[in-house]
Amino acid sequence: MTSAPGCEQALGAALVGVVELLAARRPAHLARLAAKYPRHAEQLRPGLTLGSDRHVVTSAELYDELAREGLEAAREEIRAILQSLLPRALRAKRLRLFAAIAGALTSAGVLSAALVGSRTMTIGGALSTFLAACLGLVAAYLEAPLTGPASIGSLLTECLELEANVNAAMLALHEARADLVRLRELVVEVNVICSKLRKIAVLGAITPATSATKAMLVLRR
């Protein structure tokens, strides 16, 4: 593949997401890329550079490989997120159903207790109310992400949308061939996908987060 003069572009914030996701999901692949492109080894290390990065990428091949690796890592991340969040969402849904049933039983029980005047039935009704409340709380706990007003349902929706974006980007990557400008645009798109997936992984507690991070993320949303 060739390099197009005038298409040089400094690496920077627009690549950090891909590199961070590769470091988390496919560290061996990231190390292979760094070894293959020693001139860009610094840029292929995880971490955000705290200043203007004057390094330029002139290799369409690097963009192509980075985009492919990023998309593969994104697929793995999506799989991990779905494997973790889907069962949680299903569990929460079942618990809500049980809570609703317990609630319905309670209302029927209270009525019967009032009619019959049974003390046992009154206690049973109270316990049923307590159970319904507890089930509701557990369901809410399972549905809530680490922080923020969103639910894991919305995270799942976003994740599925990103899966569609990954497929579209993969197709576009096949068509881009050695077009450096198009490849660069694609890498930026992949970077956006990877960054969003990392955020979902943190919010969905796929990646452990400190309480300070939780607090920060809450304030940002």
Partner 1 sequence: MVSPSRGRVVAAALLVLILSMLEGLPVARAGKHLLSSRVARAEAAFARGRLPRGSAYAEAEGELLRVVVDGVGDVPPLQLDAPGWRERLAALAPRRRAAGSRPALVMKLDTAQRLETELQSVMREFDVWAFDAVNAPLRLRTLPVGTTLELTPSLYMPLGRTRIPYDLPWVLERRLAPERIRIMDAFGPDHVDATLRLAQAAGTYRTAPIERLLDETGAVSLRGHEGDILIIVGHVEQDSFVIRNASGNIVRSLPLEQIKAEAARRSASAIFVGCNSYCATGYNGLVAPISDIAVSQQLEGALKEATLGGFLSRLGTPDEPFVVTPDSLRANRTSIDFSVSRVSKKKAAAAAAGVVVVGVTASRWIEHGAPEESELDEPRPAPPKPGVR
The answer to the question of residue 8 lying near partner 1 (CB under 8 A) is: no
Handedness of CA 90, 93, 99, 103 (dihedral sign): negative
The answer to the question of residue 12 lying near partner 1 (CB under 8 A) is: yes
**With respect to partner 1, which residue has the nearer C-beta, 45 or 177?**
45
The distance from CA 106 to its chain's CA centroid, rounded to whole angstroms, is 39
The DSSP annotation for 82-114 comes to HHHHHHHHHHHHHHHHHHHHHHHHHHHHHHHHH
Q: Which residue has the tokens 């579209």?
A: 168
The answer to the question of residue 198 lying near partner 1 (CB under 8 A) is: yes
Among 1, 4, 36, 45, binds partner 1 (CB under 8 A): 45
Among 44, 66, 196, 206, binds partner 1 (CB under 8 A): 196
Residues that contact partner 1, how many (by CB under 8 A): 40
Nearest to 179 by CA among 70, 68, 61: 61
User: Cβ 162 to partner 1, closest distance in Å?
Assistant: 12
Handedness of CA 88, 90, 93, 94 (dihedral sign): negative
Per CB under 8 A, residues contacting partner 1 are: 12-14, 16-17, 20, 24, 42, 45-55, 188, 191-192, 194-196, 198-199, 202, 207, 209-213, 215-217, 219-221
